[in-house]
Amino acid sequence: MPRNQKEKEEKYTCFTHLTENPKTIYLATQATVLYKNPLPIKNELSKRDISKFCRFHNDFNHDTNECQNMKSKIEFVIRKNNPHLHCYVQNDQAKAQAA
C-alpha cells in the first residue's frame, strides 16, 4: 500500500477527548510510542509561518497543537489500545472504550 494512501486512512473526523493537549502527549510518549514519521511539509520555506514550529514535523508552518497529522496519529494509537496513552483519555471515554 502506498504511503500517501496509508496516511489518508489514519485521518479522523471524530476524536477522543483528551486530558492534555497533543504537544504534551507527543513529547511525553515519543520515546515509548512508535509514531510514524510524517510526510514533509511541502510549502516553500519563504511561504511558511516561521513564528510557529511543529515538533512532530520538526519544521516551521504550524504549531504542534494545531497539527492535524499529529492529532490523527495520537487518535490512531489510542484506537489501537496502546497502554501508554490510556492515561490521557478522559475518564468517561476510557470507561466506554473498555466496555
Q: Give DSSP secondary structure letters for 59-93.
A: EESS-GGG-HHHHHHHHHHHHTT-TTTGGGB-HHH
pLDDT in tens, 40-90: 888 888 899 999 999 999 999 999 999 999 999 999 999 999 999 999 999
- Please state the pTM of the whole predicted model: 0.77
Domain ranges of the chain: 47-90
Higher-confidence residue of 11 and 52: namely: 52
In three-state secondary structure terms, 8 is helix
7 pLDDT above the threshold of 50? no
